[in-house]
Structure 1
Amino acid sequence: MTSAELEAAWAGDEGAFASLMSPFLRELHVHCYRITGSVDDADDVLQEVLLAAWKGLRGFSGRSSLRTWLYRIATNCSLNLLRDRSRRARPAPLPPFDPPTPSDLFDQPHFQPYPDAWVNELDPAAQAIARESVELAFVLALQRMPPRQAAVLMLCDVLDFTVSEAAEMLSIGKSAAKGLLQRARAGRPSSPPQATEAAQWDIARRFAEAFSRDDIDALVGLLTDQCWLAMPPATERYVGRTAVEGFLRASAAGRPGGSYALSAARAGGRPAFVCYLDGRARGLLIIEPTWDGSKIASIMRILDDGFHRHLGAPDLLE
């Protein structure tokens, strides 16, 4: 940022404003995603952040850095969205078959994984931190924290802001911010060891081959005893190999249009596949391999027929 750019933006120069914002766009989007757990919601929040920054730029005094000022806006816009989201349900498509009774509820109907390719747009120093903090299990755990706890945890432990800076961003006292951070750290999930990239893609390949043939016996052989399956925005969850097997068999038997074709992708730090039925994109599959890559610990099916566009995948599969 140069003083000339800032003065031009103050004077209403949209090009200068865009130049000021450009270095921060991806990292702000990642931050909004961590708090909301949704790529689509992060898109919406980032637009609100830019609008608020444009309207409020004359109020930016320079007492903090421009980055800190933008993170304050982004954090509060994200928390506002979460408050508004609690009053609106996200409708789930009805399955074209009669599914078995679920084991329990999946409490994150808005959840979407973050495309790995977008993390690569960050500068190299930020990529490793961002990859860990957008991993599937970590973001799901964040969504189950009280929102302000999750926000303080992200600001302090991921982005290295001080407790005082986080408190100022949230317009709360330093003691309150410190207490939120302590409780968030107590509930922060540990990062278990991960299978190597080669091992993850080996079991992903075997999963894809069995899934695209509707070979349920082969699929079940890849699952752990405690494997679970969820399908946001649907709120049903199937827990345990037997329950997951029951759903997979019902889906294969009752699905119109034949079997799926799968196109490899990567999201949430995990192997993923864009699903195509009759050549048309029909959502996303993500698998969570065990630490040694020998089995599959969870399957998530994103029931959003437009999500593949975030991954740069085509609408139609030749």
Structure 2
Amino acid sequence: MNANTQPEKLGVNGLGEVDEPAFSGLAERHRRELHVHCYRMLGSFEDAEDAVQETFLRAWRRRETFEGRSTLRAWLYRIATNACLDLLAKRRPKPATGGEVPWLQPYPDRLLDELPASDADQPETFAVARETIELAYLVAVQHLAPRPRAVLILRDVLGWPAKEVAQLLGDSVNSVNSALQRARAGMREHLPAERQDWTGGEEEDSGTRELVRRYTDASVATDVHGLATLLRDDVRCSMPPTPGLHVGRDAVVNSWVEDGFESLGRLRGVFTSVNRQPAVAFYLWRKRQDAYLPLTIDVLRVTGGEITEIVTFHDDRFPQLGLPERLPIDSTS
């Protein structure tokens, strides 16, 4: 995002003051991409919403400082980044550890689809690249200290020049370059082996869809053995915010058995997608309500035709993801 691209002008009213409706209209154009930026910084959909609201509030209060030397988008990104750093200082006194991110929340693809298409004249629109919105990337980012995290996202994801990042953070260019090196090293440490070059999991194709279907069928049948055959040896499984990271097929399967998965009851699965990854929302039959009600959402990472990671979210994420609040009884129930 180069601040020297075409500047935007703020509308003024008859008194020579910035017109609030015009200002709000210009700022709102960037709400979704700012939300994604804050989500990368914070790892939480809800915290990102708070950060964007704070960004717009600060922008309006400081509207007279916008001189049109850079784009309004770049100016808003600067404010949003600082809002996230302030929020991290207040809410996240300790970084993520041990591969777990308790505050991690999913991001629905239907909202990612609201972002503008990539434009060679606006490199910041590449900020929704699939590999930098997947959960594995988000988890790795959350293990970085706040300022190196900001440097990494601004430099490597948004494409800001080092000089502009230095100006935003009040640092020297050398400090920014040093922080970027540390951040990249941290990402290599925390990304899965096949993600070292940000290649991500596999693009969804017929093979991936078939694997997800088999996973769904085995889950609905509470067939632990069938599920085990779909997992890679080093599969990882977590359920934020519940503590506990299980690594390896045996550990994952044992955790399911210990949790009583096989006696869970009647399930139904609904295909969806979050963070540009395949996902399945599971509903559990509740006799009292005479309906299937939300249970969990499994977000899958698929590599080489095997499931390499399962991140499970609780039923409180269903509304955010636009999923039905209940499923009626069907003819097979």
Q: With the length of structure 2 as denominator, give the TM-score of the two structures.
A: 0.82
Percentage of matched positions with identical amino acids:
36
Q: For the structure 1 residues 255 and 79, does the alpha-carbon distance in structure 2 shift closer, same or farther, using more than 3 Å as the test?
A: farther
Aligned to 1:236: 244
**Structure 1 position 311 matched with structure 2 position 300:** no
CA distance in 1, matches of 2:147, 2:130: 22
CA distance in 1, matches of 2:171, 2:8: 31
Pick one of 253, 256, 268 that aligns with 1:245: 253
CA distance in 2, matches of 1:155, 1:162: 8
Q: For the structure 1 residues 9 and 159, does the alpha-carbon distance in structure 2 shift closer, same or farther, using more than 3 Å as the test?
A: farther
Deviations 1:67-86 (A, max 9, x none): 12111111111112222222
Aligned to 2:192: none
Map 1:127-146 → 2, pairs under 5 A: 129-146=128-145
CA distance in 2, matches of 1:44, 1:185: 27
Aligned to 1:285: 298
Pick one of 215, 221, 229 that aligns with 1:213: 221
Pick one of 50, 53, 56 that aligns with 2:59: 53
Aligned to 2:179: 180
One-letter code of the match for 2:213?
A: R
Three-state SS of the structure 2 residue aligned to 1:261 is strand
Q: For the structure 1 residues 197 and 123, does the alpha-carbon distance in structure 2 shift closer, same or farther, using more than 3 Å as the test?
A: same
CA distance in 1, matches of 2:14, 2:153: 32
User: Deviation at 1:105?
Assistant: 5.6
The structure showing larger relative contact order (alpha-carbon pairs under 8 Å, at least 6 residues apart) is 1
Deviations 1:171-215 (A, max 9, x none): 222221121112223334422464341222211111011011101
Three-state SS of the structure 1 residue aligned to 2:115 is coil
Q: For the structure 1 residues 150 and 128, does the alpha-carbon distance in structure 2 shift closer, same or farther, using more than 3 Å as the test?
A: closer
Deviations 1:46-89 (A, max 9, x none): 1111111111112222233211211111111111222222259x
**Structure 1 position 267 matched with structure 2 position 274:** yes
**Structure 1 position 302 matched with structure 2 position 313:** yes
Q: For the structure 1 residues 107 and 83, does the alpha-carbon distance in structure 2 shift closer, same or farther, using more than 3 Å as the test?
A: farther
Q: Whose helix fraction is larger, Structure 1's or Structure 2's? A: 1
Aligned to 1:95: none
Checking the alignment, whether the CA contact within 8 Å between 1:267 and 1:286 is kept in structure 2 is: yes
One-letter code of the match for 1:176?
A: S
Checking the alignment, whether the CA contact within 8 Å between 2:284 and 2:293 is kept in structure 1 is: yes
CA distance in 2, matches of 1:267, 1:301: 12
CA distance in 2, matches of 1:207, 1:158: 32
One-letter code of the match for 1:309?
A: P
Aligned to 1:22: 28
Q: For the structure 1 residues 266 and 160, does the alpha-carbon distance in structure 2 shift closer, same or farther, using more than 3 Å as the test?
A: same
Checking the alignment, whether the CA contact within 8 Å between 2:131 and 2:199 is kept in structure 1 is: no
User: Deviation at 1:288?
Assistant: 1.1
Pick one of 101, 108, 116 that aligns with 1:115: 108
Aligned to 1:86: 92
